[in-house]
Amino acid sequence: MSLQGAAEAEELIFYVNGRKVIEKNVDPEQMLLSYLRKRLLLTGTKYGCGGGGCGACTVMVSTYEPASKKIQHYSANACLLPICSLHGVAVTTVEGVGSTKTRVHPVQERLAKCHGSQCGFCTPGMVMSIYTLLRNHPEPTSEQMIAALAGNLCRCTGYRPILDACKTFCKESVCCQGKANGKCCLGQEDDLFDKEAKISTRLFSTNEFQPLDPTQELIFPPELMRMAENQPKRTLVFHGERMTWISPVSLDELLDLKAAHPKAPLVVGNTSVGPEMKFKGVFHPIVITPARIPDLNVVKYMHDGLTLGAACSLSLVKDILTNAISEFPEEKTKVFCAVFQQLRTLGGEQIRNVASLGGNIISRKPTSDLNPILAASNCMLNLASRGRKRQIALSDIFADGVGNNTITPEEILVSVHIPHSRKGEYVSAFRQAPRRENALPITNVGMRVLFEEDTDIIKDLSIFYGGAVSTTICAKQTCWTHIGRHWNEQMLDEACRLVLKEIALPDSASGEKVAYKKTLVISFFYRFFLQVLQSLKTMDPCLYTDIPLEYKSVLQNFKTKMPQSIQIYQDIEPSQCPQDPVGRPIMHQSGIKHATGEAVYIDDLPSVDGELFLAVVTSSRAHAKILSVQSVSEESVIMSCCLRFLEQTNELCVYRTVCLVPALAQVICVGQIVCAVVADSDVHAKQAAAKVQIEYEVLEPVILTIEEAIKHNSFFEPKRKLEQGNVDQAFETVDNIIEGEIHIGGQEHFYMETQSVLAVPKGEDKEMDVYVSTQHPATIQEMVAASLGVPANRIMCHVKRVGGAFGGKLLKAGLLASVAAVAANKTSRAVRLILSRGDGMLITGGHPFLGKYKVGFLNGRIRAVDAKYYINGGCTPDASVLVAEVSLLKMDNAYKIPNLRCWAYACKTNLPSNTAFRGFGFPQSGLVTETWITEVADKTGLSPEKIREINMYKENEQTHFKQKLDPQNLIQCWNECMEKSAYYRRKTAVNFNKQNYWKKKGISIVPMKFPFGLDTRYLSQAAALVHIYTDGSVLLTHGGIEMGQGIHTKMIQVASRELNIPMSCIHFCETSTTTVPNACASAGSAGTDVNGMAMKDACQTLLKRLQPIINKNPKGTWNDWIKKAFEQSVSLSATGYFRGYIENMDWEKGEGQPFTYFLYGAACSEVEINCLTGDQKNLRTDIVMDIGCSINPAVDIGQIEGAFVQGIGLYTMEELKYSPEGVLCTQGPDQYKIPAVCDIPEQFSVSLLSPSQNPYAIYASKGIGEAGFFLGCSVFLALRDAVTSVRNERGLKKTFALNSPLTAEQIRAGCADDFTEMVTNDESASSTPRAISV
């Protein structure tokens, strides 16, 4: 059938939130996300990554099946759903679930009241995933709830409060763990805290929640039911600007179309073709979607297996297999079980709900989790083309690697036949990925063996690997060679050696080393060997020997369970006024708006008339001269410009930091902005930017790594040094010296809201409004003004809220705002710049770190330390020198080091300039210290906790820069953490490690001293502005930025206490340079401290003015006093000011008072590792934290948990990988894995130390935003403990190095065994990696 012969569809009809949408000019390239946001102005659905990897854009799709008369609801990623695929369906967005204007839905209410939103950007997606599950299962199990959230990422909360909200919907009872030590409420042990008064463990009250009533939900539109039942199906054709979308309704039509357009892809879920078009520039002028063809949606139970249509979604396949497994005898379902096992972790629910079985097979991606097991299981493919039908083995399409042409371009995969397993047949599938769920595999495998009847003689063997090379590959020779052999140890050894030779693995672009992949290849086969042996033993206990008991646990995968958690804090004094909110767990001021999607972020702002869109063009070379820039000339492109707005310099200075601006004559990193394109739509801008041609002349040297910077002496000045005592002499008096180094990789901020700017010229006096997602509006104002050559008073910078920042929205945001402002100034029109996730990751980053140390000790007591820290600063200084300074000042962590010499160097390299990140150098230098503490323990034979206790600060002492500290709270945190975690009892229970050879547990407890301060007084000044209106309502503003840490909520709490009025009378509008000038950055955990002081000052000023009126009428109301004040001409507006903390550091003398006070804490974590794969699971974490007197325990505990989980990311999983040319390989959630729901501890306890007085901060509180991050290293050290247990058991040499992040690859390498030895001896494993450690 030709394209011209297809009937035209007059219009696309679907429903959104119960309202009919008729679209007559459909663009097949448009995804639902942009349509919702730009056309329907439903901005609650967020852009997070554009590739279906984060869940921020989750919506619910509802369809009606007239044959069964059933309505189906499923969650999907709007960023991957072409609107052309929505004909006849109903879409529900977060706005359709509930709103503050109509009714807040129980899901939205509970997420907010359980404190499940911080920055709030991911919250609408969370709401939609939970809501969709509840539409299908009003009383879900905890397993269903956990699975529903596997495709949603959150960077702020650490997931615990989100899961608390989820638990309130689950039908099974969840252990309350109501006792303050975190023990089960059913436990018989004495509770250490039963006798203590004023302890609270409740952050919310379930009594406040409205019940879930399924009868109150939106109904499926009756008109769509009538359309489905009455209107005959017809082929739909939609023509766009560049693409045509065809949706046939019969197999014959499809075959005709495929014959006419053999190169046209078939698209069902768009999870493969969509990302290729979006991220790789692949273009298809014609796309055919077969989703409505009955033949491709068939489900048939045959006598010999299951036949499933190629268009069946993976979720449907999973459900069908679940039913089949329960209905058929176990002997027949082994293939079904293995396929089901892979489907459980393949993508998130949103992906599985739309991705098709056929698409997964035909794409032949190396990362397919299904193809290896389907191929190994002898699954058959039913193919059709015009005039021809045939059946082939699925394994045939992988016979000759990626060039295989078994299926012709005209052929269609109609269905897949999955056979029953037979007697004597055993089937398994395994995978290892950077994250256990919603992550592409590093390596996976499908294995099947068939034995001669009632023997262990191999009749047939089939092994297919995925993730290893460019497509699924068969170990044919290994399989053929072992037919007729017995299933025994000799066969295992020979098969492992043979498969290593047969499977030739090149280094992957994603950076995993070949050695790890090869180890997995044979480790998987060994696990299959054990599994089959155990099955044979079960079949005939007399004939076959059982596998050793200590090997059995490795046959069980780690599973994600609903975590149990408890939060312990000091309750308020009974005498506190009920209206006084300070110290209470108050819900985030924007929590409900987060959950309803009504909270407005930069890209949610309405379009300005005549608005233009900007896309940046970045360098593809690390160090090169620009010879020419050739831009495009198209009608849609308003302007292509090189933005050479600072002709004299390539750098812009702000305070003590330097930022890179767009390139002039040369580029000094990949990702440097060279020029920009401004067009009438974001699509046209990006298309035009992709066409810009830049000619380079490569320059030398190209310095990428810290080692190369050291070699070329490439550093930013100044280098910093701290020294105390006599280090050289001390080394002569010790009995032991260790030397070593540790590399700590960089970390991507991965804020959910990407960098966003809207610059709006005001039309007169060169004024401009700049709406920007930033931590520092004053810097934005200064940089934009400098770029435009106007005074700062012409630039008005506005920030309502920020969707996460973590240090990454300081100088980088200023650079991007300047680019947008220049374009807006040149065109005299508003310009919007929203960075894609890939561009954002390319342009920003946190510092890679190398620590080298020499440590001398005597009987476990540290006597001397000589250390050097190198941080990879990238191509400009940015904040790198400051980060180096902080890493020096905080390197002691909790330990007294009498003799110390330490250097810090900020390396100048040809990487994108690295910037501030949560913790600002302490998480790195602190881990170096904890590493050598652990090595000292190894050397002395003492336990790590004993070494920590010996060397911990114990009295009023001085730090290495001569600042006094009182470590009383440090000791108290340590002791409480020891008790609450039952550390010694759990550590001495070593039976698990003795009884399990391939799985081991590890435990570690770590203290923390976190100094608070910004080193310079003027960086901690703050101001606030408070207006009281004549109706008694109060409007606040201050210089702090709300980015998830609840600063506005706390400021309202402060004003409520000071003015003695309810929080409901107080409103915060926005942070703006027009109301509070010259505000310092919201950074360094200081936001509440300094702005709270300013807010208190402003409120006290107002109260002082009102006091005479109150004295005259003490029984009057607040409104009475305000009206009287106005009548008496008393000013009802006041500014408050805080001059900043007196902090200083003399680097020449190496001493000073750079910090105002100290926070203390301790964390104990227990983990379990799989020695065969390197996989790991966090079993339990207990945290005790000293934060003074908490202003809001719910917010503060949320900050501790969120920081801790982000720390787990730094230390155990988040890897930034660069090519040898300096190109970032990990540019999105597909390649870069932040912690997900599956990564948090199964048991998670956070306790706030009994309040202690802190005279320096507002209401004796302490700045908590960053401190918890470092405690994530307790997981790193617990993993190290587990690896140490393995190595000790196997008699391996004690000294071994583990770098951060401590990924599965490193864990597996540390657990050396016969398999790693085989790989080491295999010559082909020693090739040059395609990813480098920077």
Neighbours of 1323 (CB within 10 A): 7
In 404-509, alpha helices (H): 476-481, 489-502
Residue with tokens 């090379």: 469
Report the number of secondary-structure helices (H) and strands (E) in the chain.
Answer: 37, 49
Q: CA-CA distance, 1218 to 702, in Å (whole number)?
A: 13
Give CA torsion, residues 497, 500, 503, 508, to 10 deg. 170
Mapped to the 3 state alphabet, what secondary structure does 362-430 carry? HCCCCCCCCHHHHHHCCCEEEEEECCEEEEEEHHHHHCCHHHCCCCCCCCEEEEEEEECCCCCEEEEEE
Q: CA-CA distance, 606 to 623, in Å (whole number)?
A: 40
Which are the contacts of 1320, defined by CB distance < 8 A and separation ≥ 6?
A: 515
CA 1190 to the chain's CA centroid: 28
DSSP 447: E
Catalytic residue among 253, 437, 502, 1266: 1266
Q: CA-CA distance, 92 to 218, in Å (whole number)?
A: 9
Contact 759, 821 (CB under 8 A): yes
- Amino acid letter, 828: S
In 671-746, alpha helices (H): 682-691, 706-711, 727-733
For residue 984, the SS3 value is: helix
Phi/psi of residue 1161, nearest 5 degrees:
-170, 175
In angstroms, what CA-CA distances link 749 with 50, 652, 752, 843, 1229?
17, 22, 9, 11, 12
Q: CA-CA distance, 612 to 602, in Å (whole number)?
A: 15
Q: CA-CA distance, 218 to 95, in Å (whole number)?
A: 12
Radius of gyration of the chain from its Cα atoms, rounded to whole angstroms: 31
Closest CA to 1012 of 1078, 922, 898, 1139: 922
**Tokens (6 digits) for 66:** 């007239």
Q: CA-CA distance, 786 to 652, in Å (whole number)?
A: 9
**Tokens (6 digits) for 1264:** 């908590």
- As a residue count, the chain comes to 1334
Which are the contacts of 853, defined by CB distance < 8 A and separation ≥ 6?
A: 738, 739, 740, 741, 865, 866, 867, 868, 928, 931, 932
Q: CA-CA distance, 925 to 931, in Å (whole number)?
A: 10
Residue with tokens 């992949």: 517
In angstroms, what CA-CA distances link 859 with 526, 839, 946?
44, 52, 11
Which are the contacts of 1190, defined by CB distance < 8 A and separation ≥ 6?
A: 569, 570, 583, 1196, 1248, 1251, 1261
Q: CA-CA distance, 408 to 1045, in Å (whole number)?
A: 56
- 489 among known catalytic residues: no
The backbone region for 1008, taken as left when phi is positive above 0, alpha when psi lies in -120 to 50, beta otherwise, is beta
Closest CA to 138 of 245, 199, 222, 213: 213
Contact 1108, 1114 (CB under 8 A): no
In 789-845, alpha helices (H): 811-827, 837-843
Catalytic residues: 1266
